[in-house]
Every structure is written in C-alpha cells, then in structure tokens.
Chains A and B, each alone.
Chain A
Amino acid sequence: MSVSLAVPRHFASPAIGRAFSRVLGRALVPAFFGLVAAGLALPAAAGPRIDTWTAPSGAKVLFVESHVLPVVDVQVDFAAGSAYAPAGKAGVAGLTRGLLSQGAGNLSEQAIADRLADLGAQLGGGVDPDRASLSLRTLSDAPTRDGALAVLRTVLAAPAFPADVVARERDRAVAALKESLTRPETLASRAFWQNLYGDHPYGRQATPESIAALTRDDLAAYWKAHYTARRATVTLVGDLTQAQAEAVAQDLTAGLPAEAANGGASLALPAVTPPKATTVAVAHPAAQSHLFIGSPTFKRGDPDFFPLVVGNYVLGGGGFVSRLMKEVREKRGYAYSVYSYFLPLKEEGPFQIGLQTKRDQAGAALKVVRDTLAEFIAKGPTESELQAAKDNLVGGFPLRLDSNRKLLDQVATIGFYGLPLDWLDRYTERVKAVTVTQIKDAFARHVQDARLVTVEVATDLPDAQAGAAR
C-alpha cells in the first residue's frame, strides 16, 4: 500500500512521492484509492469542529480552526469537473483548470510561479469527474498568507488564458494523452469508464482530436460558466481566526464570474443508465494483463454507503487482509496488487475490482476474482470478518484526521457533496451499526451480475484475440 504514495494522487504530496519513488513497497493500491479513502474513511469518535456559512459572494464555506502549525490550507472546489464539459469539448475541464495559474490579472505565468515560490507557498489541485479544485498551502504569518491568497484570488477571478500559452498547453496535453494511450493501465481505465457509462458524461473522454480542437474561447467560456460562486465550495483549515476565515473566503470568491442571467450552467448531471454485462478486450503487448471488473453503483449521500463500505473492506478494500488479497495474492501469488473500491460521485460512481497479472494466467486469476466476488455477494462477510472490519474502521478513525492535509480532504468532500456536518462525528457509530444482512442486501442491489463490465487489456484470452470491443 505504501506505493499508493508513489502514484500521482489527486492532491499529491511531493515529499512522500519522492521518498517512495525510488523505493519498493509491499503492495500497490490504485491512484483512486486515496480519493476513495477520503470519502469512505471518515470513521470515528468525534470529528473536528466544522464551522460553515455562505459568504456574501454566494460561495459555501467550511472552516476548521487549528493553530497547531503556522500554516493555512485552502481548497476551492467548483462543480466544474470533466463531467460538465459540453458535448464535443471533452478535455476542456482539465485544460481550463491547468490554464488558470498560467497567466492571470496582470501576472504572467512566470510571475505567478515566482511569487508563490518567493513566499514558499504551494498551489495544487486538479480535476476529477465532478470537481475542479485549486488548493493553496501557505505559512500563516500575515504578509506571507496575504501575498499567497492574493495570487490565488487573481488566478480564480481573472485568468487571462493567453493565446500562446493556451496553444502550448493544448499541444502538450495532446502529446501527453498520446503517450498515455500507449500504456495498458490507461487503456484499461478508459475502456472501463467508457463501458460503464456509455454516453453519460462520466463515460466521455478526451481524445487527441477533441483536445486539439479546443480554443482559447472554449476555455474562457468554460471558466465563465463554471467557476462561479454558486458552484464553489471554499474549505479552510489551519491557523486563522473565524473572522479572518470569513474575510478570506469572501475575498477569494467575490471576484468570480457572475452567474448568467438565465441562471447559468446546470449543476445537475444526467441520470446514469446501468450497462449490460459485457467483456471488453483491448490488445497490448505488455507482460502483464490489466483486468477490471465493475459497474456504476451509488451516489454520495446514499444510505447504503455504510454497508457497502464496511462490506468492501472485507472484500477488497482492507489492504492485506481482504478476501481478494488473500485469494489472489496470498494463496496463489497471482498478483502484486488486487483491490476493490467504491467511488461514490454526484451520480452513481463506480464499483471497481482491479488487478494485474502475468498474461498467461489472466484467465485463472479472473476466475478466482469472479468466484470470490460471487461468494461474497451470495453470503456476505462472516461475523468475525465484519467485526475485524469494524475494528479497523472504528479504531483507525483518528488516523484519518491527524494532519491538516487530511482534514482538508475530508472537510472539502463533506462541503462539496453537501454531506451532513456531523458526518465525521457519527461515522464510527454508523460503522458499528452495520450488520451482515445489510451488507448482503446492499451488495445484492448495487453489484449485480447482469451489469458487471469486465475489461481485459493485454491478455491472450479468446476475447482479447478478437482485439475489439464487444
């Protein structure tokens, strides 16, 4: 699992990344795991005190005051993730997000980078299906903090989208995508999302052609329609007073683009149509097959969250002690990494099982995975497995919240998805209340055979030899 740290995450930590980049760990979990864990793993005693309000700008604000370190962490999330891209503009969300900090107000991209570096501040963020995010970490002394926040405000409210920079970054994005399309893991992931979601925005993916066709105006229009205060959630963690936090949140969001007269771009996403069970094979010369099984499952806020998450801990979420790990890795040595997770999104996010194995044993490994899943869905966990899951999720709750960075992730998720503010406070009691029957029931409804998509990349299975999607 340590290696999850080496995988670029949504909000990667460079320090840890380096430490592990030249180091081998004992297990690998997918990049998404961190994000998922953020959402799934909010167990515990009591969470931090979260204050929340709506800024005069209209932006929603969440604030956790902590003076342990002279540091302020800010994250601004917009309902501007890749799923909001207009038809035919796949790739616009990521490129827009990237361009924000590459020229804004009267600051060139060089000036933005220099100013933040001079202050020792770090700007991060990224794009996922639902969210486009900017995060800022800065020291909390007033001149440094104010200087760094001023850059963030400018980046949010006055991106310039310089034509030459847009052209350059578009070319780089096309080249990077072409490169990643040679990678078996990319092909597997794209085929997975495409076949789970079809024409739903979660299934649409940027292509070299769609990115190449994007213009400066597309980016500016996307920013104008989606980076509004109504679509924004500001999360603040760290060394600020309540009054300072209120001022910061308003200051950051006051200059965001105004909502269009007609009410602006929709916040809603279309409903997900469940896929039919299918197997998709993609040819690739890799030594290992990349295998995914999954289906769309549930939304943020679904009452089945706890049975599914606790159940998944037993199935494939619990690291070295999960059933998949035991059956696939420990007993048979088929894979280094095997896992399952739920990624709840605004609409039904995926359930996914993933593994990589030497290609001549792909069929055998798939069979073990299918049997393990079928057994789990039919019978659920044993009472002792359920207890072990609760012990870990409840006992380990404090580990989810023991740094400002972790608090920021958790609270931003609560804010963006509108989860109740006592979400963290009640997490452990809800985990403790889960029963075997609830898990069986929830899995039976959410993980149905008739909807399971299998993706096989780089196998020699009969499907793969066809070399095409079915």
Chain B
Amino acid sequence: MKRMLRGMLAFTLLLEGSLALAAGAPVFETRLDNGLKVLVMEDRRAPTAVQMVWYRVGSVDEVNGTTGVAHALEHMMFKGTPKVGAGEFSKRVAAAGGRDNAFTNRDYTAYFQQIPKERLRDMMALEADRMRHLTLAPAEFAKEIKVVMEERRLRTDDQPTALLSEGLNSVAFQASPYRVPVIGWMDDLEHMTATDLRAFYDRWYVPNNATLVVVGDVDHQQVVRWAKETYGLLKARPLPVRKPQDEPVQAGIRRLTVKAPAELPSVLLAWKAPKITGMDAKAMANDADSYALDVLAALLDGYDGARLNTRLVKESRIAQDVGVGYDNVGRGPALFMVQATPAPGKTPAEVEAALRAEIARIANEGVKDEELVRARAQMLAAQVYKRDSMFAQAMEMGELETVGLGWRATDLMIERLKAVTAADVARVAKAYFGDDTLTVGVLDPQPLKDRPAAPPPSGMLH
C-alpha cells in the first residue's frame, strides 16, 4: 500500500509539472470533423512511437447491476471485428514488433500500442476499426468474463488491502459512482451479458468521445493525415446526457472494518477534499486549496525523509509503513487518503491518532520554507525525468485531456504549485481534516485457517 500511495504521489507531482516541455518536444493539437481530438508530440529520440486512444468513459458511467461493464468491454475489444478476427488484433501488433494493452479506470478507458515508428499507420487503422465495428460475440464473451472474474480474485478478493480500499470507497461515497469498484462487484460480473456490453459500446465508443494521443518519432502533419484516413471515416453520434451524481456533503465520521487473512492490521483514513476544477482564471483561483493540499501531501510523504515516514516509522516506530494519496485530477470527487500499517504490538487506534497528530501539527505549527523548496525541487526534476519515457508523456496528456482539464494543464498546475506558501499549507491542514468528512477503514487481520498447524518442514520453506 505504501508503495502504491507513494507512487501515486510521485505521479501527481509529475502530472503537475510537465509540458514544461517548453524545453521538451512540441505538441500539436487538432480536432477532426467527427469530433476526435488528436494530440501529437514529436519526440525524435528513438525510432519508435506510442499510440493511445482514450475514451471518456469508465466505471463512473456505469449503472447498478452492470458494474464492471466498462472494464469487461475493454477486454472484449481484443475479441474481434468483421475485418480482424478474435485474437488477431494482438497478433498483428506483435507481428509489427509492438506491444499492446489497455486499461480502465473510473474516469476513462484507454488502449495503446508501442511500436517501431514505421508501423504507426497500421496501428491507427486497427484501432479505428474497433472503435465502431466490434463483434462482441456471446461465445467469446462467455469465456472472457471468466477471465475478468479471475482478475477480480487475483487483484481484489485475495488481496487484503485491496478489499479494504474497495470497502472504504463504497462507504466514503454514497451517491457518486466512485463508490463502485472499477472491476465491478462479483455478482454483477456473474450476471453480465454480451448485450450489456453492446449497449455500453454503442453509447460511448464514438470519435467525439475520444482522444488520440501519439508520441514518438513522427511528423505531426502525417499523423493527422493518417488520422483522417482512418478514424476520420467514422461518424460522430450524440452522446447521452451525463448526470452529475454529485456526492452530498458528509456530516459525520464513518468507520468500517474488513476482515481478511493477514498478519498486521492496516489503517486507511480518507477525507473528502476538493479537486482541480479547471484551468481558467476563475477556477484557478477557486482551486487554491487543492494545490495547497497537493503540497501538503508532498510534505507528509514525498520522499523517504518526509514527515510521516520520519516521525511514525523511524522515530516513534509506531508504524511499519505509511503512505499518502491525493488524486485531485478526476471527473468525480476527490479524497485525501492516508494509510499506515501499525508496527507489531501497536493498535490501529494508536496509529490513527498518530497520523492525525502529524496533520494537526502542521495546522498548528506550520511548515518550514525549506520543506517547500525541497518539494519544488523534486517536482521540477520530475518534469525532466518524465521526458525519458514516451509512454509516460502520452499517459499524462491523455489523462488530463480526458478528465476535461486539457493537456496544457500541466504547465499551469506547476506554476500554481510553485506559488503555494507555508501559510496555504497550514490553512488547508486546518480546514480539511476534521471528523465530519472522514471515513476510517481498518483491516482486521485473520489467521490463515488452512495454514498448517505445525511450521512447514524445513525442506519446504527454508
């Protein structure tokens, strides 16, 4: 969990910097007549390219009874069209020397291929084909949904901290579809049909709901020509009205316990927090707290010597590990999350109190300027490091564009983050960490019932 939350933060910072690619590769933006947004970054360091297609549809667009349909559809996107048979898509990518995959999140679904640059146009033709012509054969679906259920067992059902986080989301959110796990509830998967996927596909997989991102050793005019020849042939269709489903204000602490086989407990605290709402002047002014919370997250857990790790893991040794996650870029509401594993012999209650005391300390005593300077240095270096990966750059542009902030947001965000002051950080530490908007999840570790009574023979577990 720590690794996950730490990782999240690193990318958040990264996200905030970026197309400070002022010094980096240029980005070209176009919109085709059918509404497809096209973003091309010419990065000529190697003879390769990455294509991604991002759909603005994810689990947040699902309805009760068919949770997990966005992700199940993502799996079925590899199961063929009239032109390209089941399994043929990946075969063609492989034959081109490429690698392909896809991912689904609450806010979006995206598909990508990393290829030698000569094969880009072929990939665009393939990707455009399945944007509209998916077969969705029931026989293929019957097999693939079993794969998805295995995926759920692997990632969630047998993972204690994943169960905790799934449970916490479903308690912290009541109206927002963020309450539902991206992979879907098992019972919904068991009752899902190819028809459910067909309806979802027809509704959301249209060029005017998608962004094409290409990064690599390419010519942007050529890429746009190819986009017109491939994606350009598809027709725009009206999108359904998206209901806001705003989360009501939480008024009172919520607590949950999850029991699962484990050795140590885990504590997960989640406060309702603001997110970044836009990039225009008015939004930028309104979002001041969100930027300050981002910096707070960095001061709490931005590197090995940050406050939580130093105080709780190294000094008081109350925690085995700690982590902070604050994802303020999304279509739905944001949570400021703090996680810790109590050290052996320490209780979840003690750890919860210690975590909250650290935030209170910032609220009461403020932070040092040197901490802010340090967080900025890390953020700015990350902007440069990011340019080492075409994939990471494509991810960033695609995500920002798809959640509605626009790919240019990074430059503006980093400017805002640089402007955050010690007083701002203390202000948000005071404002957002009360009881009333808090949800606390605790993993209650259970013995492995099937564990052999005697220690395993030394020949087995040395």
Contact = CB atoms under 8 A, between A and B. Distances in A.
A333 B150 CA distance: 8
B9 A288 contact: no
Interface string B313-324: 110010011000
A100 B96 CA distance: 44
Interface string B83-99: 00011001100111111
Interface string A106-136: 0001101110111111100000000000000
A71 B385 contact: yes
Given A330-B87, A388-B94, A15 B460 contact: no
A421 interface: no
B7 A24 contact: no
Given A23-B104, A175-B264, A396-B116, A18 B460 contact: no
B302 interface: yes
Given A120-B380, A333-B143, A395-B96, A14 B450 contact: no
B146 interface: yes
B103 A356 contact: no
Given A17-B3, A109-B314, A121 B456 contact: no
A403 to B, nearest CB: 5
A433 interface: no
A14 B461 contact: no
Interface in B280-300: none
Contact of B78 (A14, A26, A190): A26
B152 to A, nearest CB: 9
A155 interface: no
Contact of B14 (A15, A319, A393): A15
Interface in A190-240: 190-191, 194-195, 198, 203-205, 207
Contact of B75 (A26, A68, A109): A26
A116 B304 CA distance: 10
B108 to A, nearest CB: 9
Interface string B331-344: 00000000001011
Given A117-B305, A285-B450, A468 B457 contact: yes
Given A285-B261, A396-B99, A191 B461 contact: yes
Given A16-B389, A110-B310, A190-B461, A467 B452 contact: yes
Interface string B422-462: 00000000000000000000000100111110001101111
Given A120-B381, A285-B450, A399-B99, A15 B147 contact: no
Interface in A1-18: 1-2, 8, 12-18
Contacts of A14: 6-7, 10-11
A190 B462 CA distance: 8
B153 A21 contact: no
B97, B100, B157, B261 pick with most chain A CB within 10 angstroms = B97
A397 B144 CA distance: 31
Interface string A329-369: 11111111100000000000000000011100000000000
Contacts of B399: 19
B101 interface: yes
A414 B150 CA distance: 38
A25 B264 CA distance: 28
B452 A2 contact: no
Interface string B149-170: 1110111011000000000000
Given A18-B7, A194-B459, A469-B459, A395 B97 contact: yes
A310 B332 CA distance: 46
A120 B462 contact: no
A114 B305 contact: yes
A69 B387 contact: yes
A320 B451 CA distance: 35
Interface string B1-28: 0011011111110100000000000000
Interface residues of B, number: 104
B329 to A, nearest CB: 11
Interface string A376-412: 0000000000001001111111110111110000000
Contact of B114 (A113, A118, A182, A399): A399
B392 interface: yes
Nearest to A285: B450
A336 B461 contact: no
A147 to B, nearest CB: 11
Contact of A175 (B91, B144, B343, B452): B343
A203 B462 contact: yes
Contacts of A184: 158
A296 interface: no
Contacts of B317: 168, 171
A151 B100 CA distance: 39
B191 interface: no
Contacts of B69: none
Contacts of A70: 384
B74 A205 contact: no
Contacts of B7: 12, 14-15, 17-18, 21
B327 interface: yes
Contact of A24 (B3, B104, B310, B313): B104
A323 to B, nearest CB: 12
A205 B458 CA distance: 11
A334 B45 contact: no
Contact of A403 (B75, B389, B457): B389
A18 B143 CA distance: 30
Interface stretch (A50-58, A247-255, A276-284, A438-446): A276-284
Interface stretch (B197-205, B353-361, B371-379, B406-414): B371-379
A337 B154 contact: yes
B97 A396 contact: yes
Nearest to A174: B344
B74 A26 contact: yes
Contacts of A64: none
Contacts of A204: 462
Contact of B151 (A176, A326, A336): A336
A1 to B, nearest CB: 5
B218 interface: no
B395 interface: yes
Contacts of A357: 150
A15 B10 contact: yes
A22 B457 CA distance: 38
14 contacts: A19-B395, A26-B74, A26-B78, A28-B154, A139-B384, A165-B314, A172-B320, A175-B344, A178-B263, A179-B263, A321-B90, A391-B94, A395-B119, A402-B45
Interface of A: 1-2, 8, 12-28, 68-71, 90, 109-110, 112-114, 116-122, 137-139, 165, 168, 171-172, 175-176, 178-179, 181-182, 184, 187, 190-191, 194-195, 198, 203-205, 207, 280, 282-288, 318-321, 326, 329-337, 356-358, 388, 391-399, 401-405, 458, 467-469
Given A114-B305, A280-B460, A321-B87, 9 more contacts: A15-B10, A15-B14, A23-B182, A24-B183, A118-B374, A190-B461, A283-B450, A283-B451, A330-B86
Interface of B: 3-4, 6-12, 14, 45-48, 71, 74-75, 78, 86-87, 90-91, 94-106, 114-116, 119, 142-151, 153-155, 157-158, 182-183, 261-264, 302-305, 310, 313-314, 317, 320-321, 327, 341, 343-344, 373-374, 377-378, 380-382, 384-392, 395, 399, 445, 448-452, 456-457, 459-462
